[in-house]
Amino acid sequence: MKVAIVGAAGRMGGRLIQAVSEAEGLELTGATERPGHAQIGVDAGLLAAVGELGVPITDDLAATMANADLLIDFTFPDVTLKNLEICAKLGKMVVSGSTGFTPGQKKQVEKYAEQIPVVLAPNMSVGVNACFKLLKEAAKILGNDFDVEIVELHHNKKKDSPSGTAVRMGEVVAETLGRDYNQVANYHREGMCGERTKEEIGMQAVRGGDIVGEHTVYFIGMGERVEISHRAMSRDMFARGAVRACQWLQGKSSGLYDMQAVLGLS
């Protein structure tokens, strides 16, 4: 299967180029960056230190996708939506790890997924998706007697807060407990804000240095506490997850899928 990568010169871009070039059944045929980027014209393989691949970085996604079956997109919601529009018109598959979508933007993604197969996941790590499964089971067992707090840590360059992974963790717990995440998520406490409600899910974000990503969900009861944590040591696991999603998506019908489906956890 022929694969193109958008944002090829970014932090994730190099990891994705390397992962795709090493993956069985996948061939890198395209790599793009924003117009005016300094790396336009550079061979994607040389940029990712995997050797020359004969795939120069361009700024024309539509032309790039003419010679690809699938696009890997780790950008930002507004960019992802533009890329989805192009891929939907061309009938190309998409694997996206972008985060920070508003409810309205998620609806737009769903509309494009009616035309093409799309995997959209806030975190493509196998370990994180195992955590999603564990969180659902923990919430079922512990129920409403335990307060839920989520703390996430990321590098100082991350633009969205809280992380898409933290939000999804909150959504999983809220759905399991019969709550509306958008109504119970509490992102800020300051001053005389009153006692904590039983329904709320606290969301705290820490930013600093080069932290790849850490997430901990606390279930806090009277006299005991359960913690479910995941720590990412490198971005390679996200790239490996994206490759796994690409391989799984081949031959699938139009629709919106997540990594739970890719890993057979849903």
Q: What order of strands is seen across the sheet that includes strand 117-120?
A: 57-58, 27-32, 2-6, 70-73, 93-96, 117-120, 255-257
Q: Which amino acid is at 89?
A: K
Catalytic residue among 154, 159, 215, 230: 154
CA distance 127 to 129: 5
Active site residue 154: yes
Catalytic residue among 158, 188, 230, 252: 158
Q: CA 169, 105, 115 angle in degrees (round to 5)?
A: 105
- Which residues are catalytically annotated? 154, 158
